[in-house]
Amino acid sequence: MNDTGRTDRRLQNADWLLHSALTRLLDILSRDGEEARVAGGAVRNALIGLPPGDIDVATTALPEEVTRRVTGAGFKAVPTGIEHGTITVVAAGVPFEVTTLREDVETFGRKATVRFGRNWKTDAERRDFTMNAMSATADGVVYDYGGGLADLEARRVRFFGDPARRIAEDYLRILRFFRFHAAYGAGTPDAEGLRACIAGRDGLESLSRERVRMELVKLLVAKAAVPTLIVMAEAGLLVQLIGGVPLIEHVARLAEIEAGLGLPADPIRRLAALNVLIDEDGERLAQRLRLANVEQTRLISMGAGWWHVSPAAGEAAARAWLYRIGPQHFSDRVLLAWARSPAKTDSDAWRELAMLPQRWTAPVFPLKAADLMQRGLEKGPALGVALRAAEEAWIAADFPADNETIGRIATNALKSG
């Protein structure tokens, strides 16, 4: 690698780099003395054979010039982060974040003051990790200003420059360090980076709950989530984040079960395995991480009675339970209970129970209020009581579908009304 950062590496099998919209965008922004490159995560992923994810573009052109050029080419320009030099360019329906090269004048988390520039190395130096600081031209030539190629090949997540300084610029980088290690690293985390994260952990308290949630959710589903969580727990960071004792062995078992069933890693289910024993734990975590309502509901549901779940109850009881709480909550509770049971993670009995929603769809209760009214029951509280009794009898009978049984259930329900 020479002093300019240009390497002899080229992106291989990066078909997305030949995407007509991206190729045209890079061409438009690389004329008349300006230059544009793909930067960051897309380059990193391409070098290790992963899909690019969001494709970000860096350019020497100022935001006003970027806007002028892309709109002149018929693209749409949206000033999503204009104060930091970022414009979202929508080309052929595909969004690309285009950011002018810059350097930090003053840093305080996400509200850094920046100055635009034309120096690629200076721009790279403001990024968090070396593997995220690489860029590539339209013909795939890779530029590396901080040893990112070597770190990526070694599966080493390393801060660009002084780790303590990078962290002080934005304390979220502590969580990103562990999240990136869980996703891209191997072995133990970089020692210098780990020491800096531990030293700066008080800064985590300054972060918004939404930002903490975003990183933790991504970490929980990363391929090396479990060993990374262990390191975080040993460093005292995990208790600080979740406000409770982490149950990492339950996350490990849940990950094995998910893999055995061919299920995708689920961050909310893994969060429950990590720290939800009762429904109050779900409420606490939801508040602490400012989870969405649907996420909070799932956590609370998993904390409510998972210890009663067992294949020993039989399939009829399982069908009744599935009918009452629905497929999502059923699967959540079964998998959590399985992870906390003494059963093996490849138990046939537990597998049968967990896969019930794939084998059986709960039917719709066939009786309506009108059916009971036709049998002489008038509107009023008694009607609701009778209807609920009929539904309970129908569930207890294992969801019969024949008219004779349903009629008998309806007639018997009149007595309860």
Domain ranges of the chain: 1-154, 161-245, 247-362, 369-416
pLDDT by residue (tens digit) across 198-249?
Answer: 999 999 999 999 999 999 999 999 999 999 999 999 999 999 999 999 999 9
**Sign of the torsion formed by the C-alpha atoms of 272, 274, 277 and 282:** negative
Q: How are beta strands 135-136 and 76-81 bridged, if at all? A: unpaired
Top CATH class, 1-154 = alpha beta
Q: pLDDT digit string (tens) for 78-129? A: 999 888 899 999 998 999 999 999 987 655 555 566 789 999 999 999 999 9
What span, in angstroms and rounded, lies between the C-alpha atoms of 228 and 235?
A: 11
User: Do residues 155 and 184 make contact, with C-beta atoms less than 8 angstroms apart?
Assistant: yes
Query: What pLDDT is recorded for position 84?
Result: 87
| Mean pLDDT over the full length of the chain | 94
- The reported pLDDT for the residue numbered 417 is 61
Q: What pTM was computed for the model?
A: 0.89
What local confidence, expressed as pLDDT, does residue 1 receive?
Answer: 42
Mean pLDDT, to the nearest integer, of 279-300? 95
Q: Is the dihedral of CA 163, 164, 167, 171 positive or negative?
A: positive
Judged against a pLDDT cut of 90, whether residue 158 lies above it is answered with yes
Distance of CA 57 to the CA centre of its chain: 23
CATH topology of domain 161-245: Hydrophobic Seed Protein (1.10.110)
List, in order, residues 6 or more apart from 154 with CB less than 8 Å away.
186
Q: How far apart are CA 138 and CA 37, in angstroms?
A: 7
Quote the tokens at residue 49: 């054979």
Per-residue pLDDT tens digits for 348-403? 999 999 999 999 999 999 999 999 999 999 899 999 999 999 999 999 999 999 99
CB-side neighbour CA atoms (13 Å) of 321: 24
What is the pLDDT confidence band of residue 329, given thresholds at 50, 70 and 90? very high
DSSP string, 87-106: EEEEETTEEEEEEE-EEEEE
